[in-house]
C-alpha cells in the first residue's frame, strides 16, 4: 500500500501545468475534502518531503491508522505545504488539515473464502441431488440412448424421464443430447462407442473420438449381426446390442479362414471357430448387367474357395477399380473400395473399406491360401 501511495504522489508532482485539476484524483478538489489524493497537481513536493511523509504515516497491521501516526502526518503535511508553496505561477491553495483522531478499535481480520462462500460451497464432496420434479418429454422427443431396464422400450407418449439412468457396462456410451450418436459427432461418447465395438470384434480403426466412416461401417456390421434396423447411427436398439455383446457366430470350427455371409452382408475372419474380426461388406447385387454387348449376372458365388492370387495395388478391371484385391475364384475377390454401402452393390466381389483392406494386408489376415467360405 505504501509503495502505491508514493507512486501516486510522484506522478502528481512531476510537473506544474496551468490546469487546476488534481493529478491524484482528476478533479478540481485538490487538497480539499473529497479529493482522493489530497494533493494538488500544481504542487511539486520535494522527494525527501514525500518520503518523510509516508515514512511517518504509520499504519497498523489491520489497516487502521494509529492516533500517533495521524498527529504526526498532520504536522508533516503542514511542513510540506509550507515548503512547496512557491511552486507554479499561482499560489497554492491552503489545505485544511483534520484534527488528530482518537485511536481506532482493532478491526476484525477479513473473512476467509470459506467464510464468504459457506462451507458447502468449497467442499469437494459429491453434488447435492436436485429435488426438482422430473421433466416430462413431449411425444415427438427421441428415446434416451441408454437402454431401459425393461427388455422392451416403452412406447407411451409423454413418458417421464428417470432421474437416475439405468447402469450400463463399462465403455458403452450413454444418452446423447438428441438421443442418438451419428456420423460427424465427436467426444467421449464416441470414444466409448469405438472402444466397445473393438472389444466385440467389429473393426473400426483406432478409437479417436470421431464418428467417421470407419465407425459407421462397424455400426452397420453390429446392426446386421443383431438383426435390427440398419441405419449407421447409434440409437437405443443399437446401444442394447452393444450392451448385450451381440456377435455373429462362425460356421467353421477349425483353422484360419474367411467367411462371407451373403444374407447379412458380413465378412468374418475366423480362427478355430472363434470370430476374431467382423467387417461390413457389400457383395453382388444379384442383378444382370451388360458389358461390351454381353449379359452378366452380378452374383457372389456360394461355396468353398481359397485365395489363389493377390495384387498389392489398385487393379483396374473392366467394371471398375479394385484396391489390393485378394482373388478367391476367377475374377471374384475381397478388395477395398471407396464406396461400401450396407446393401449388396457390387458385380460379385466382396467390398470392404480402403482402410480395412490396408489393415488386412498389414496384419496378413488373408494371405494366399486362406480358405474362403461363402454362404
> What's 202's domain CATH number?
1.10.101.10
Both 240 and 342 in one domain: the answer is no
In terms of C-beta density within 10 A (0-12 exposed, 13-18 middle, 19 or more buried), how is residue 198 classed? middle
Residue of higher predicted confidence among 63 and 115: 63
Range of the structural domain that residue 50 is part of: 2-83
- Classify residue 363 by its DSSP letter: T
Q: What is the pLDDT of residue 318?
A: 82
3-state class (DSSP) for residue 122: helix
Structural domain includes residue 112:
no
What pLDDT, on a 0 to 100 scale, did the predictor assign at position 73? 52
Give residues with Cβ within 8 angstroms of 132, minimum separation 6. Answer: none
pLDDT, tens digit (0-9, with 9 covering 90-100), for 342-367: 999 999 999 999 999 999 999 999 99
Maximum mean pLDDT: which of 19-33, 164-178, 260-274: 260-274
Mean pLDDT of the chain, nearest integer: 72
CA distance 295 to 293: 7
> How far apart (Å, rounded) are the C-alpha atoms in residues 70 and 84?
21
Q: What is the CATH number of the domain that holds 298?
A: 2.40.440.10
The count of domains in the chain is 3
Domain shared by 16 and 72, yes or no: yes
pLDDT by residue (tens digit) across 70-123? Answer: 444 544 444 444 444 444 444 444 444 455 555 554 444 444 333 333 333 333
What percent of the chain has a predicted confidence (pLDDT) above 70? 53
| Mean pLDDT confidence for 304-314 | 98
Dihedral, CA of residue 164, residue 165, residue 167 and residue 168, to nearest 10? -160
Say what the alpha-carbon torsion angle 56, 57, 62, 64 is, to the nearest 10 degrees.
Answer: 140
pLDDT digits (tens, 9 = 90+) for 230-272: 999 999 999 999 999 999 999 999 999 999 999 999 999 999 9
Please tell me whether residues 209 and 291 are part of one structural domain. no
Amino acid at each position: 500500500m505504501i509503495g502505491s501511495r508514493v507512486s501516486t504522489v510522484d506522478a502528481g508532482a512531476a510537473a506544474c501545468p496551468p490546469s487546476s485539476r488534481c493529478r491524484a484524483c482528476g478533479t478540481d478538489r485538490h487538497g480539499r475534502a473529497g479529493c482522493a489524493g489530497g494533493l494538488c497537481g500544481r504542487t511539486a513536493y520535494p522527494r525527501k518531503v514525500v518520503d518523510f511523509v509516508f515514512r511517518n504515516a504509520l499504519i497498523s497491521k489491520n489497516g487502521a491508522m494509529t492516533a500517533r501516526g495521524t498527529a504526526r502526518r498532520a504536522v508533516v503535511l503542514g511542513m510540506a505545504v509550507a515548503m512547496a508553496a512557491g511552486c507554479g505561477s499561482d499560489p497554492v491553495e491552503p489545505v485544511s488539515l483534520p484534527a488528530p483522531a482518537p485511536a481506532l478499535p482493532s478491526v476484525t481480520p477479513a473473512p476467509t473464502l470459506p467464510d464468504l462462500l459457506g462451507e458447502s460451497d468449497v467442499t469437494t464432496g459429491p453434488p447435492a441431488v436436485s429435488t426438482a420434479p422430473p421433466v416430462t418429454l413431449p411425444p415427438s422427443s427421441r428415446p434416451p440412448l441408454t437402454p431401459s431396464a425393461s427388455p422392451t422400450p416403452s412406447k407411451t407418449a409423454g413418458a417421464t424421464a428417470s432421474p437416475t439412468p439405468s447402469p450400463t457396462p463399462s465403455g458403452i456410451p450413454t444418452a446423447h443430447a438428441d438421443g442418438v450418436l451419428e456420423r460427424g459427432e465427436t467426444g467421449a461418447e464416441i470414444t466409448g462407442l469405438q472402444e466397445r465395438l473393438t472389444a466385440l470384434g467389429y473393426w473400426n480403426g483406432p478409437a479417436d473420438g470421431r464418428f467417421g466412416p470407419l465407425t459407421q461401417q462397424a455400426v452397420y456390421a453390429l446392426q446386421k449381426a443383431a438383426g435390427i434396423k440398419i441405419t449407421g447411427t447409434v440409437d437405443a436398439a443399437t446401444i442394447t446390442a452393444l450392451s448385450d455383446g451381440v456377435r455373429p457366430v462362425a460356421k467353421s470350427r477349425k483353422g484360419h479362414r474367411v467367411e462371407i455371409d451373403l444374407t447379412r452382408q458380413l465378412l468374418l475372419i475366423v480362427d478355430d471357430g472363434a470370430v476374431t474380426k467382423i467387417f461390413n461388406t457389400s457383395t453382388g447385387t444379384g442383378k444382370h448387367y451388360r458389358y461390351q454387348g454381353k449379359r452378366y449376372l452380378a452374383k457372389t458365388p456360394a461355396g468353398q474357395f481359397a485365395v489363389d492370387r493377390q495384387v498389392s495395388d489398385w487393379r483396374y478391371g473392366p467394371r471398375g477399380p479394385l484396391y489390393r484385391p485378394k482373388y478367391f475364384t476367377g475374377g471374384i475377390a475381397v478388395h477395398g473400395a471407396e464406396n461400401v454401402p450396407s446393401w449388396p452393390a457390387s458385380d460379385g466381389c466382396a467390398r470392404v473399406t480402403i482402410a480395412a483392406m490396408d489393415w488386412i494386408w498389414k496384419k496378413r489376415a488373408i494371405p494366399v491360401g486362406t480358405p474362403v467360405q461363402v454362404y
